[in-house]
Amino acid sequence: MANMKFELSQKAPQQISSEVLAIYVFQAEGQKAEFVSNEFFAQVDKALNGQLTAVCNSESFQGKSGSVVSLFSFEKIVPTKVAVIGLGKKSEFVLDDLRQTTGKFIKSINKKARAICISLPCGADEETADLLDVIVQSVELANYEFGKYHTQRDEQIKLSSVVLQVNKTENLSFLNKHIVHSQLYSQATILARDLVNEQPTVATPTYLANLAQNIAKSNPEITCKIFNRAQAEKLGMGGFLGIARAATIEPKFIFLEFKPKGNKSKRKLALIGKGITFDSGGINVKPGDHMQDMKMDMAGAASVLGVFSVIAKIKPDFTVIGCIAATPNLVSATSIVPGDVVKAYNGKTIEILNTDAEGRVTMADSLSYAVAQGATEIIDFATLTGAALVALGSDVAAMFANNQDLASKVKSAAFSAGEKVWELPLERDYKKLNKSDVADIANIPSSRYGGTITAALFLQEFVGNTPWIHFDIAGPAFAEKPSGLHPKGGTGFGVRTVLKLLENKGDLTDPGQVRMSIQNI
């Protein structure tokens, strides 16, 4: 878990005790191959008798985004080392530069420092609170590791304390509240990562259900209902139970509800997460290579649980429900087989043509259950199709929307959260590809092209006219390589976008205009 201690300081940077002091600088505008000094840099440089400038020059440091120069200070100043981090040209600077460069810097000092100091970028036009947000979350997320199964790591140096140095004119109590608030984002993201990275035999439907119940127990505004196999059967969740047939462990349908005290709003936002705790493919078994990655097939569920773990502190002023149909997709003598027909919660029948397209079959029930609960908006997260990786690569989520107002709000939230999404069309002409000869719809399309779109069109059949956003997160939910703010494995994709959205009290749709509100802390 995130156990990082953040502290604000208005002392001069060269006087703050730390193993590494990080200072950001911009690159010069135009063609000049040089960086631009600033007040914090100049103070430290002076205390070092100009050696900081000398080292930067000797290494031809130009302040390009992500470049770093560091120097041992030989006790001339309080910090043991100084790192100068380039942010690129100020005219091209966006908060994502700060996110990426900070993440890169934190990874570079991994296992090398326990206590550091970061000087907030001087001269950036963004508000200090926004800069702080980005730095706090980048530090915590870049520092994340899933280490619980390593047995020989006692000696390791772990970063645990960060002093954030700010200008003398800043209001510390305001900024301190902001840090606490910002940490909720990383805390929730880290919970989602841990759930994805956990071995599938541990992170079972029961494990997820217990977590949901514990979240509800510790928050009076949250309630939780869990339906076991028999109860889901009574409700008519034939899609979910069809996929769950192979498993000897209990599948669980998880329902969470956050209702703010004195709730006046009619809004009821539903968050749906695909909860396949392991996807073997079922009878249409997957090939062996990388099958271990299919423990990530509950990443959507993990993100929903991450959001609910902090939602009472974020305090949206409307109701939020969460639905997760949790089961593994396994091969056994009782598995669902191609040719079977199941009936979803909303009464629609689905012909199973491929047991590896199981996500949409379980989501048919969770989506239509949310509609029946009176959801006024639905957002779902699902590691649904390999085709999403083909279309948008490993970093960008495919987004679909049947309502453009909601779409633009969600896009702004994703933008300011630093999560990459791109909208694909719910192309009506492709609906015919999902036709079945024997049931209302088939679980795989008749063409292999546009597989992400046909999967989304399948889901659309279960949301009716409710404003709805679907995220296919097969790419960004799980990193095959370390990059940006995460190591290999679960990324917690979606958590920060939803949290931003929950805080978007007004109708702001401009990217960058979705601001956090801290009045409720």
Query: Residue 472, interface with ligand BES (CB under 6 A)?
Result: no
Stretch that binds Zn ion, among 178-186, 278-286, 335-343, 394-402 (CB under 5 A): 278-286
Is 515 part of the annotated catalytic residue set? Answer: no
Q: Are 449 and 391 in contact (CB under 8 A)?
A: no
Q: Are 435 and 457 in contact (CB under 8 A)?
A: no
Query: Residue 482, interface with ligand BES (CB under 6 A)?
Result: no
| Nearer CB in complex with Zn ion: 262/339 | 339
Catalytic residue among 360, 409, 411, 496: 360
Residues 280-299 that bind ligand BES (CB under 6 A): 297
Is 193 part of the annotated catalytic residue set? Answer: no
Cβ neighbours for 105, distance < 8 A, ≥ 6 positions apart: 22, 68, 83, 85
Question: Interhelix angle for 95-108 vs 128-142, to 10°?
Answer: 40
Chain residues that interact with Mg ion, rule: CB under 5 A: 216, 219, 222
Among 133, 279, 377, 380, binds ligand BES (CB under 6 A): 279
Query: Residue 457, interface with ligand BES (CB under 6 A)?
Result: no
Query: Residue 385, interface with ligand BES (CB under 6 A)?
Result: yes
Q: Are 162 and 116 in contact (CB under 8 A)?
A: yes
Query: Residue 386, interface with ligand BES (CB under 6 A)?
Result: yes
Among 140, 194, 279, 377, binds Zn ion (CB under 5 A): 279
Among 97, 130, 356, 419, binds ligand BES (CB under 6 A): 356
| Nearer CB in complex with Mg ion: 200/322 | 322
- CB of residue 511 to Zn ion, shortest distance in Å: 34
The partner in contact with residue 459, picked from Zn ion, ligand BES, Mg ion, none with C-beta cut-offs of 5 to 8 angstroms by kind, is none
| Nearer CB in complex with Zn ion: 279/380 | 279
Closest CA to 358 of 292, 303, 283: 283
| Nearer CB in complex with ligand BES: 97/297 | 297
Q: Is 347 exposed, middle or buried (0-12, 13-18, 19+ CB in 10 A)?
A: exposed
CA distance readout (Å), 342 to 238, 440, 443: 5, 10, 10
Cβ neighbours for 91, distance < 8 A, ≥ 6 positions apart: 29
Q: Are 407 and 423 in contact (CB under 8 A)?
A: yes
Rounded to 5°, the CA angle 416-421-423 comes to 125
- CB of residue 321 to Mg ion, shortest distance in Å: 14
Among 79, 88, 205, 359, binds ligand BES (CB under 6 A): 359
CA–CA separation, 420 and 94 (whole Å): 14
Catalytic residue among 64, 90, 286, 315: 286
| Nearer CB in complex with Zn ion: 293/423 | 293
CA distance readout (Å), 177 to 8, 68, 180, 414: 11, 30, 5, 23
Query: Residue 503, interface with Zn ion (CB under 5 A)?
Result: no
Q: Are 339 and 388 in contact (CB under 8 A)?
A: no
Q: Give the tokens for residue 24.
A: 């950001």
- CB of residue 331 to ligand BES, shortest distance in Å: 13
- CB of residue 452 to ligand BES, shortest distance in Å: 8
Which residues in this chain contact ligand BES in the complex, by CB under 6 A? Answer: 279, 297, 354, 356-359, 383-387, 444, 451, 474
Q: Supply the residues annotated as catalytic.
A: 286, 360
